[in-house]
Amino acid sequence: MRLPSGPTLDLRQRLHNLPKVDLHRHLEGSLRLETLAEIAREHGIDLPGYDIERLRPYVQITNDPPDFQRFLEKFQLLRRFYTTREAVQRVAYEAVADAALDNVRYLELRFNPAALAHAQGFSFEEVTDWVIQAVDHAQVDYQITARLICTIVRHENLESARQIVELALSRQKRGIVGLDLAGDETIYPAAPLVSLFRHAAQGGLGITIHAGEAGGPENVREAIELLGAQRIGHGISCVEDSNVLMLVRDRKVALEICPTSNLQTGAVETFGYHPLRDLYLAGVRVTVNTDDPSISDTTLTDEYLVAVMGMNLTVADLMAFNRNAIRASFLSPAERAKLEEQLMAEFGRSTDV
């Protein structure tokens, strides 16, 4: 996102200074373009060009028309960069570092072990342990708290999905706190994965499901009632069905809303038509997140700027969104209480925008 100037720049700096929580950020969509170019040159990855500006249109939304499939296509090229242990650890470390540099205090970073493993035939266990190690180092270096969520993609086979569930369950004491379902919800149903997600929940993992972005409100209902979702990735189509909206509100299911991503996928036409504010006023537990910072060329500060300037929200509202995020996080109750006390105290010293 291009930096604003004048009074807007002052507002952006104030929003940058706010402490933040990001519950919905994909590792695979958080790679620095500079890092991509370096890895490509070092390992001879065949690309249209190694200059960052020539590379940008292939891995980032630039002048692309809004389109869900086009957005997903950006991940196909990005999968080619997980060439070595060092590359996987570097992108994981930098994803956490970049969040911390944006004043994110708590981050839940999700990743798909299959995506990281397939490029070079690594095992799921190897790449997962590399990510855990890198995230641990970044937490220490940047004074940020980060936890991990393992992602299953809808089009992958059931055996891979089962392996990812067992992998996540086995590493809960090492920072994996949740299980996610992503991918094309317009083509691939979630029903075949119900037993796996119930098994994961019984084992103590938090459950978050991508639904209701490209698909309709029925996908949100399915995620909650069949897969036991505590959080929904995006979920904005629930405004189209009052019964689903009430289901989300009454069960206190948090929506992980990512405004810029929603615009780029075509889920909303403009920020002015985004349902974030309406969902908030309806009593839904909404949160604001980045989704894929590199693909969308955004930061959480940019998302806050969109909320304030494009949706007429205030710092008090952002404070409420962060409280929602803390309470919907997959931390332990004691960790949530401590984080809420710390962040709300700091937020309380901020003046309204």
- Per-block mean pLDDT, blocks of 10 residues, the chain (353 long): 56 95 96 88 76 82 84 80 91 98 98 91 97 98 98 95 98 98 94 97 98 96 98 97 98 98 94 96 98 96 97 95 98 97 85 49
DSSP-H helix ranges across the chain? 7-17, 33-43, 52-59, 68-78, 85-101, 113-118, 124-142, 158-170, 194-202, 217-225, 242-250, 259-264, 276-281, 293-296, 300-311, 315-328, 333-348
Residue 2 lies in a domain: no
- The per-residue pLDDT for 3 is 40
Cβ atoms within 10 Å, residue 338: 14
Are 194 and 227 in contact, with CB atoms under 8 Å apart? yes
**Rounded to 5 degrees, what are φ and ψ at 286?**
-95, 150
**Cross-strand pairs, 256:** 233, 287
Using CA atoms, how far apart are residues 153 and 263, in angstroms rounded to an integer?
22
- Active site members: 213
Nearest to 147 by CA among 95, 85, 203: 95
Using CA atoms, how far apart are residues 328 and 334, in angstroms rounded to an integer?
13
Are 88 and 130 in contact, with CB atoms under 8 Å apart? yes
Using CA atoms, how far apart are residues 139 and 134, in angstroms rounded to an integer?
9
- The per-residue pLDDT for 141 is 98
Q: How many domains does the chain have?
A: 1
Residue 58 lies in a domain: yes
Are 183 and 110 in contact, with CB atoms under 8 Å apart? no
Residue 353 lies in a domain: no
Q: What is the CATH number of the domain that holds 97?
A: 3.20.20.140
Using CA atoms, how far apart are residues 27 and 223, in angstroms rounded to an integer?
22
Residue 189 lies in a domain: yes
- The per-residue pLDDT for 4 is 47
Residue 253 lies in a domain: yes
- The per-residue pLDDT for 110 is 98
Residue 1 lies in a domain: no
- The per-residue pLDDT for 6 is 52
Domain that holds residue 112: 7-348
Residue 201 lies in a domain: yes
Q: Please give the C-alpha separations between residue 56 and each of 42, 52, 65, 264, 266, in angstroms, as whole numbers.
A: 18, 6, 15, 15, 20
Nearest to 89 by CA among 124, 133, 143, 141: 133
